[in-house]
Structure 1
């Protein structure tokens, strides 16, 4: 076996930890740009908690609160201009994956010239402002990796910026911040946790370290997502989902995602479908296409989802993973068809071409590498 593990981020986990953010930031910078969404952090009081902690440590701050779901590359560049104009020396991402990814992008572009799309396409960057992340959802895992996903509004391509320097210095995972997350967002972000874990596990870039993290994350999602969805005020469910999210975030940091993300990103990039919902809608067709290429792994997925596989053949146990996932998605009200977003048969060629030409890295990491026709068939099955 040959594999590596690298994780430079200090992870701070636990209820109430957000109130300590200033004690970590004071060793990193003296003027912070807080990157967040347009209203949620204000309404919940999360922004006030962060600014109070910063002020107690004598840290100046300003806010960039223009982050949208499926954030645009242009949003990153506006935030980077604000960071440069105000001479900030640390960037804090407060929110779900969109806010945290945008914080990474702003920290990167504040010290690099040109357009972020060029760096996503492979241009090499230089230094990055220090990053601190505070996740408010159990989804995306951005606090535990160096990915930052953006949509180019001109091309509709949704891809990742990734640099060895876009890891957070410190990430705070405070389950209390997740108690106010609405049911629909709980479901969408929670299923994203599952797909991060499963894709890291079954994909071609899997390795022993991430396999262990991924299977534990799947088990926690199976045990806790429905509870967090139905009883969002219960800190125990939120805590377990937060931990699953971080585990899965570390897993994709090392092993990446594969075809579900490869097929889901075009739905978000072109049609602005919520990320987790886009993955759910294509997942069952993806699993049916891939399951007999890695039956042992899909059998383990089924087991981690709570299926009793005793007495089943390997292929029977593997197929149970599809049933178990379908049941989990039903229990939290997630769509299982892309037609739920208004997609019709006339859109399939556009989606397939986009996925096959723009998301090659993801598709090629799948257990069974698809052809263009395979991708079309999977989208058709998902209608």
Structure 2
């Protein structure tokens, strides 16, 4: 049987007594439909009233209804049978809907309720996934739990009756088992073509579970234009006659025609995906955040809970200052005292990861045999923890191929590349002790090369089944693309650092957001994120320079750091970031400070380029950014530059000389940056001469 949405069809015959009106029955069915839609894993409920079953007006004429219910899981479908509204429907059937006894009754009784289980492989995601939220029945008023339900029922009473939509239900069975594949293929083909026509609301195909090849076809039409309706039905019937009915058992074909009772017309309608999509007007944004992010004050309090889920042996990777670990160890202390976890001797990373020492680091981690790795510190410590978690599992044999690719990147002077992780991974928890410009949410790590100026950003990509919890056994594997990563961003840790960390992180985040906001290829999602980052930094930057111990400011810095990581799309960067990466291999100051120094040169060039040859939209964004940052509605681009240089003077950055970038081969740096332009976001088209001009000014700084 084809895979698809789980569907249950109830075929209900009602013999209404004179004491019960048609209105009462419809009210009950609509209430049943609405309450069923309120179930967590119920995708959709359709109730169809079939007209003229017997073709006479006898009071004993049965009234047939189809109730079609779609669920996400088998468990939800079975649980539905035991809920109060389902039991209420069954009681109604038992009490009122039995066929009355007559003198000429035969021994064969009409089945009052027939249930057919199956799946709906067509129209796949488009057709069965629409469902309104019936809030009145799902969130009752705590003061008066029946108040909202009564209001919903009052509204139902006004809408009871036939809606302006015509439905036809057809059931087909294959003539032979060998016809099943052809039968299904032709039905799907006809349905795909028919459901896109004007006047056709939807077409659903439901494949029966009990009878292989058994198919229900449900057509829904708008019935305003009876001429068009007749033509559409005839056209669909003709297609079935020529391509489907020859493969069916003619004696077991059934057709019913009626109208919908629930839901209303608008909810039946669907927009079917067109066969050809329109041309893209913006560059797509790849969000590589396949992880759990816990953000806000108190996030660190959850570290022991998440660590215990992953295993008992915990290894902490941190920077050179192990005093930063005190808050983390305090949170883990209670579990350690109780014997639930064991904290292995921590490993300190003195600075940026090096291609020459990474293999030794992985071997040291393997000797300790951890179940879970916790990375705590700045960007370098988190990068190390991320990289180590990918290769430290004893069953992972891919480290040698990674090191070879890293050596090739060094020879080819690459600033970035992707590496596909095929082996089992160790669970990872990240705890940034300072803003890291996105290291806390990305699946990337920066590696330096001995004696080489440029560094390399490696973006790690994983398959869907290589995560392990505490051992290599298959029962401990959890599907997910690097979903073993949990990031706990608690801004309380940030105020424990040096007084320049908060303001410099704010400025660096602003630069990354500003470059992304001005990029000519940014899409609406990136622009919205970048705009929020710029606005947030502008609102607190002056306070950050005066009161770096403020937890309110620290939390805003934490937020903009995460936004800066998102707008970088996990692996891309602006011109400032590309130059900083090209120099960071030998820089004696942090990557964050390097970004700010370089931005003091690149930002004036950005503004000059946009003024000369920028698109109107980019110019408008630049004016908008100037107003947001300076807080003045009359601000110009020059005011933005003045504001930027004034703020830099306030934070007391390490000087450019402190970077100790002596004898830099600037022409080589320009060539490396230019070779990565396919990953560099720019406001306008730039040439080699443009980049050389920027680097010449940087060299003279």
Give the structure-2-normalised TM-score: 0.49
Say whether the 8 Å CA contact 1:267–1:273 is kept in structure 2. Answer: no
Question: For 1:233-254, what per-residue CA distance to the aligned partner results, in whole angstroms no more than 9, with x for missing partners?
Answer: 2111111111111122222235
Q: Give the gaps of 5 or more residues in structure 1.
A: none
1:322 has 2:653 as partner = no
Which residue matches 1:125?
421
Matched position secondary structure for 1:215: helix
Note the C-alpha offset of 1:57.
8.0
1: CA distance, partners of 2:483 / 2:574: 21
Judge conservation of contact 1:147–1:253 (CA < 8 Å) in 2.
no
Q: What is the match of residue 220 of structure 1?
A: 536
For residues 324 and 263 of structure 1, do their structure 2 counterparts lie closer, same or farther at Cα, with a shift above 3 Å needed?
same
Superposition deviation, residue 50 in structure 1 = 4.8
Deviation by residue 1:261-296 (Cα, 9 ceiling, x = unmatched):
111123321233321221111213212222213323
SS across alignment from 2:598: helix
- Map Cα deviations across residues 214-235 of structure 1 (whole Å, 9 max, x no partner): 2212222222234234322211
1:163 to 457, 460, 464: 460
Contact 2:588 2:660 (C-alpha < 8 Å) held by counterparts: no
**Which residue of structure 2 aligns with residue 114 of structure 1?**
400
Q: Which has the higher helix share?
A: 1
Q: Does 1:52 align with 2:52?
A: no
Conserved 8 A contact 2:459-2:571: no
Whether 2:602 is the aligned partner of 1:286: answer yes
Determine which structure has the larger strand proportion and give its number: 2
Deviation at 1:375, TM superposition (A): 2.4
**Equivalent-residue separation in structure 2 for 1:208 and 1:24 (angstroms):** 35
Contact kept in structure 2, 1:35 and 1:93, CA below 8 Å: yes
1:58 partner SS? coil
Task: Specify which structure has the bigger relative contact order, considering alpha-carbon pairs within 8 angstroms and separated by 6 or more residues.
Answer: 1
Q: Distance in 2 between matches of 1:261 and 1:200?
A: 11
Report if the CA contact (8 A) 2:509-2:561 is conserved. yes
Aligned equivalent of 2:300, options 7, 14, 18 = 18
1:306 maps onto 2:630 in alignment: yes
Report the structure number with the largest CA radius of gyration: 2
Aligned equivalents of 2:659 and 2:534: distance in 1? 26
In the alignment, does 2:359 pair up with 1:73?
Answer: no
Q: CA deviation at 1:133?
A: 0.7
In the TM superposition, residue 87 of structure 1 has moved relative to its aligned partner by 2.3
Determine if the alignment matches structure 1 residue 295 to structure 2 residue 619: yes
Does the CA-based 8 Å contact 2:435-2:558 persist in structure 1?
A: yes
**Change beyond 3 A, Cα 1:219–1:333:** farther
Give the C-alpha shift of residue 9 in structure 1. Answer: 1.8
Cα distance in 1, alignment partners of residues 311 and 453 from structure 2: 35
Deviation for aligned residue 1:99: 0.9
- Are residues 1:137 and 2:434 paired? yes
Q: Secondary structure at the match of 1:150?
A: strand
| Structure 1 residues 360 and 28: alpha-carbon distance in aligned structure 2, compared to 1, 3 A threshold | farther
Name which of structure 1's ranges 95-104 and 69-78 shifts more when overlaid on structure 2: 69-78
- Could you tell me how far apart the structure 2 residues matched to 1:38 and 1:190 are? 23
CA–CA separation in structure 1 for the residues paired with 2:493 and 2:348: 20
Count of aligned pairs = 373
Q: In structure 1, what is the Cα distance between the partners aligned to 2:498 and 2:517?
A: 29
Instruction: Select 2:315's aligned residue among 28, 33, 40.
Output: 33
Structure 1 residue 182: deviation in Å? 0.6
Contact 1:262 1:355 in 2 (8 A): no
Structure 2 residues not aligned, in runs of 5+: 1-280, 410-416, 463-481
Q: 1:87 to 1:254 in 2, by over 3 A?
A: closer
Q: CA deviation at 1:31?
A: 2.4
> Which whole-Å CA distance do the structure 2 matches of 1:102 and 1:187 have between them?
25
Q: 2:593: which partner in 1?
A: 277
Post-superposition shift, 1:48?
1.9
Deviates more, 1:174-183 or 1:262-271: 262-271
Any idea what SS the aligned residue of 2:630 has? Answer: coil
Match of 2:446 in 1: 149
Aligned-residue Cα RMSD (Å) equals 2.8
- Give the direction of change, closer, same or farther, for the CA distance of 1:297–1:69 in structure 2 (3 Å limit): farther
Contact 1:73 1:152 in 2 (8 A): yes
Structure 2 partner of 1:365: 681
SS of residue paired to 1:270: coil
Q: Distance between the aligned counterparts of 2:359 and 2:346, measured in 1?
A: 12
Give CA deviations for 1:21-62 in whole Å, capped at 9, x if unaligned.
Answer: 0111222333222110122x4256234235426636823332
Query: Which deviates more from structure 2 when the two are superposed, residues 370-379 or residues 105-114?
Result: 370-379
CA distance in 1, matches of 2:427, 2:496: 28
Q: CA deviation at 1:151?
A: 1.1
1:102 CA displacement: 0.9
1:243 aligns with 2:559: yes
Distance 1:298 1:115, change over 3 A: farther
